[in-house]
Amino acid sequence: MTESDLGTTSIETGLKELEALIKKISADRPDWNEADTRFQFIDPFITDCLGWPRYEMKLERRQDNAYTDYELGSPRATIWEAKREGVYFELPANPSQRSIGSLKSIMSLDENAASAIKQVQSYCSARGTPVAVVCNGHQLIAFLASRQDGQSPLEGLCIFINGHEQFIKEFPLLWQNLSPAGIKERRIIRLLTTGAESGVPKKLSSYLLHYPSFRYKSDMQSSLRTVAELLIEDVVKTAEVEAQFYKECYCESGALARDALVSRQILAARYSALFAPTESAPKLTPVKPAKDELALTPEIMAEALSRRPIVLIGDVGVGKTSFLKHLMYVSAFDEFQRAIYVYIDLGSQAALEHDLKDFILAEIERQLLDRYNVDVNESHFVKGVYNREIELFRAGIFGGLYESNKVEYDKRLLEFLHGKIQKKAEHLRSSIQHIVAGRNKQVVLMVDNADQRNIDVQQEAFIIAQNFSQQWRAAVFITVRPQTFHQSKRAGTFAAYPQKVFTEV
């Protein structure tokens, strides 16, 4: 990390600088104006105590005839608004000296504070800056000036400090949230949105010395590795023995394996909901001993019947692919026999493809032909899919040609159906719905190994999966990495859609 990431001081050093600064200015407390307050207290507090390098500070920046006092960070991450020491903020009664409170309460209590808060919030909003700070030399209010969780910035929480004694007492909190490192790690955003400094925990490997490391293998280790590379790794990719492998060799462990029964219940519930209630519903048989049986709760039923993808979260190599294959061949075998299912590998299989959507549609078309002997472009099949549209076509402007000029009518009809086929996504959707209606089978789409691609591909794959869930009424499974899931939730890609999430932790 660079100096601007880490800052120029530590908590310990910054606290010593703060104590010395307060001791110095406490000896003589004149009536400072705003410039004095900035020069005597706020400037050294930002640089010497919080550790902001001076080249990361911009002063008196103008935009739309408005000047900011301090803009910190490159790119700009925090805006500070300075007030003269004589501008006192009437803060809420706080006998327990809590440092996190309601911004709305502070604004309702004091007009000076409300005016300063609205002023700096407007600066941040206009300049795309997330964190705002107001300081008058002995009081400080820090809050989120722009949010992405649906809450108004002026109705959230804030950090507020009242007096130099509390500045010293709560300096670790201020340093953790307002220093360059704290801003870089978005600590204040987590603190003021969740009420706690939580985040994705570090991997255990990050605590191990010399990780990863290499050592010479023994002869036995080398031999076992060779056997594994020649036999075990390739046997899973052999279609003739793949199902047998997952039946006999799959080891049920971890959170994903515990979710196998839930997945089966979701598929069974969706199947029951798609077809006539007079048909017998699938029998739910636990795939584990009775003591581990999971009941089909109303919450799971609601999840099952809604149109959303099922997201499998886990790092590369934790077993998401094995979970999906075991679900197909063992734990939900009966449900898959009553389904039209398509398994799409976005790993090595799609590595050279540029258009992800075209690749997925082509795979669906290919697997329908290979697995179910359905040619979606075959003449009789196409006429069956669009039987209703053909009836409407005959009743339309070209219908008179059916009796007077059958050759011309057939030509026009062929052009009409060709136009339908050319819209591949819509044609496949209509084809699958035709198969579902004719064979009483639900549709299951598995988009696997998306987590082996970059984040843009993973997000695009998720949006495509969401589209399939809503418009194709398909049960869709998709795999992503934890980092992608959390990053996309913050960016809004995953947050915009509800999902059922399974994780391997």
The confidence score (pLDDT) of residue 320 equals 78
3-state secondary structure 401-429: HHHHCHHHHHHHHHHHHHHHHHCHHHHHH
Question: Are both 113 and 253 inside the same structural domain?
Answer: no
In the predicted model, is pLDDT for residue 190 greater than 90? no
Q: Which of 174, 194, 214 is the last residue of a domain?
A: 194
Q: In this predicted model, which residue has the larger pLDDT, 154 or 295?
A: 154
What kind and span of H or E run contains 443? strand 442-448
The confidence score (pLDDT) of residue 444 equals 85
What kind and span of H or E run contains 16? helix 11-26
- Give the mean pLDDT of the chain: 78
What is the spatial distance between Cα 344 and Cα 446, in angstroms, rounded to a whole number?
6
Written as six digits, the tokens of 168 are 């010293």
Query: Is residue 175 a contact partner of residue 1, using CB atoms and an 8 Å limit?
Result: no
User: In the chain, pLDDT over 90 holds for what percent of residues?
Assistant: 24
Place of tokens 């197909």: 328
Written as six digits, the tokens of 150 are 């649906």
**Which amino acid is it at 44?**
P
Task: Indicate whether 214 belongs to any domain.
Answer: no
In the predicted model, is pLDDT for residue 419 greater than 80? yes
Task: Indicate whether 427 belongs to any domain.
Answer: no
> What domain range is 349 assigned to?
229-373+441-503
The confidence score (pLDDT) of residue 327 equals 80
Question: Are both 233 and 181 inside the same structural domain?
Answer: no
Query: Is residue 311 a contact partner of residue 500, using CB atoms and an 8 Å limit?
Result: yes
What is the spatial distance between Cα 504 and Cα 502, in angstroms, rounded to a whole number?
7
In the predicted model, is pLDDT for residue 360 greater than 80? yes
Q: In this predicted model, which residue has the larger pLDDT, 94 or 241?
A: 94
Written as six digits, the tokens of 296 are 């089909």
Largest CA distance in the chain: 108
Question: Are both 317 and 461 inside the same structural domain?
Answer: yes
The confidence score (pLDDT) of residue 355 equals 78
Q: In this predicted model, which residue has the larger pLDDT, 217 or 1?
A: 217
* Side-chain half-sphere CA neighbours of 158 within 13 A: 30
Question: Are both 189 and 246 inside the same structural domain?
Answer: no
The confidence score (pLDDT) of residue 287 equals 38
The confidence score (pLDDT) of residue 273 equals 52
In the predicted model, is pLDDT for residue 98 greater than 90? no
What is the spatial distance between Cα 305 and Cα 282, in angstroms, rounded to a whole number?
15
The confidence score (pLDDT) of residue 283 equals 41
| CA torsion, ordered 474, 479, 482, 483, to nearest 10 deg | -100
In the predicted model, is pLDDT for residue 284 greater than 50? no
**Which amino acid is it at 406?**
K
Per-residue pLDDT tens digits for 73-83: 988 999 999 98
User: In the chain, pLDDT over 70 holds for what percent of residues?
Assistant: 72
**What average pLDDT does range 123-138 have in this prediction?**
92
Question: Are both 357 and 496 inside the same structural domain?
Answer: yes
Task: Indicate whether 155 belongs to any domain.
Answer: yes
Question: Are both 175 and 319 inside the same structural domain?
Answer: no
**DSSP β-ladder status, 139-144 and 131-135:** antiparallel
Task: Indicate whether 211 belongs to any domain.
Answer: no
**What average pLDDT does range 154-161 have in this prediction?**
91
Question: Are both 126 and 235 inside the same structural domain?
Answer: no
The confidence score (pLDDT) of residue 199 equals 52
Per-residue pLDDT tens digits for 221-272: 777 777 666 666 566 566 666 777 776 666 665 555 555 555 556 566 555 5
Q: In this predicted model, which residue has the larger pLDDT, 467 or 205?
A: 467
Task: Indicate whether 401 belongs to any domain.
Answer: no
Reported in sequence order, the residue ranges of 16-148 that DSSP labels E, i.e. its strands, are 57-63, 66-72, 78-82, 100-102, 131-135, 139-144
Q: By C-alpha distance, which of 489, 498, 443 is closest to 468?
A: 443
Q: In this predicted model, which residue has the larger pLDDT, 146 or 297?
A: 146
Written as six digits, the tokens of 388 are 């209703």
The confidence score (pLDDT) of residue 214 equals 60
What is the spatial distance between Cα 490 and Cα 249, in angstroms, rounded to a whole number?
39
In the predicted model, is pLDDT for residue 364 greater than 60? yes
3-state secondary structure 208-261: CCCCCCCCCCCHHHHHHHHHHHHHHHHHCCCHHHHHHHHHHHCCCCHHHHHCHH
Written as six digits, the tokens of 478 are 């998709």
Q: By C-alpha distance, which of 318, 347, 327, 310 is closest to 448?
A: 347
In the predicted model, is pLDDT for residue 279 greater than 70? no
Q: Domain count for the chain, please give it.
A: 2
The confidence score (pLDDT) of residue 239 equals 64
CA separation, residue 6 to residues 187, 188, 199, 491 (Å): 14, 16, 19, 25
The confidence score (pLDDT) of residue 295 equals 47
In this structure, of 97-111, 339-353, 393-407, the range with the lowest mean pLDDT score is 339-353
The CATH code of the domain that includes 107 is 3.90.1570
Q: In this predicted model, which residue has the larger pLDDT, 428 or 283?
A: 428
3-state secondary structure 311-336: EEECCCCCCHHHHHHHHHHHHCHHHH
Task: Indicate whether 324 belongs to any domain.
Answer: yes
pLDDT band at 141 (very low <50, low <70, confident <90, very high): very high
Question: Are both 495 and 351 inside the same structural domain?
Answer: yes
Q: Which of 150, 168, 194 is the last residue of a domain?
A: 194
CA separation, residue 401 to residues 73, 286, 384 (Å): 73, 60, 21
Task: Indicate whether 344 belongs to any domain.
Answer: yes
The confidence score (pLDDT) of residue 340 equals 84
In the predicted model, is pLDDT for residue 3 greater than 60? no
Question: Are both 95 and 181 inside the same structural domain?
Answer: yes
Written as six digits, the tokens of 38 are 């900035």
Question: Are both 307 and 239 inside the same structural domain?
Answer: yes
CA separation, residue 173 to residues 142, 146, 170, 393 (Å): 11, 21, 5, 71
What is the spatial distance between Cα 99 and Cα 173, in angstroms, rounded to a whole number?
9
The confidence score (pLDDT) of residue 64 equals 82
**What average pLDDT does range 383-391 have in this prediction?**
90
Task: Indicate whether 295 belongs to any domain.
Answer: yes
**What average pLDDT does range 428-451 have in this prediction?**
83
Q: Which of 145, 177, 194 is the last residue of a domain?
A: 194
The confidence score (pLDDT) of residue 394 equals 86
Question: Are both 128 and 27 inside the same structural domain?
Answer: yes
**What average pLDDT does range 39-52 have in this prediction?**
93
Q: Which of 365-369, 456-460, 462-466, 492-496 has the highest mean pLDDT?
A: 365-369
In the predicted model, is pLDDT for residue 329 greater than 70? yes
What is the spatial distance between Cα 440 and Cα 405, in angstroms, rounded to a whole number?
39
What is the spatial distance between Cα 393 and Cα 412, in angstroms, rounded to a whole number?
10
The CATH code of the domain that includes 233 is 3.40.50.300
Q: In this predicted model, which residue has the larger pLDDT, 152 or 238?
A: 152
Question: Are both 157 and 240 inside the same structural domain?
Answer: no
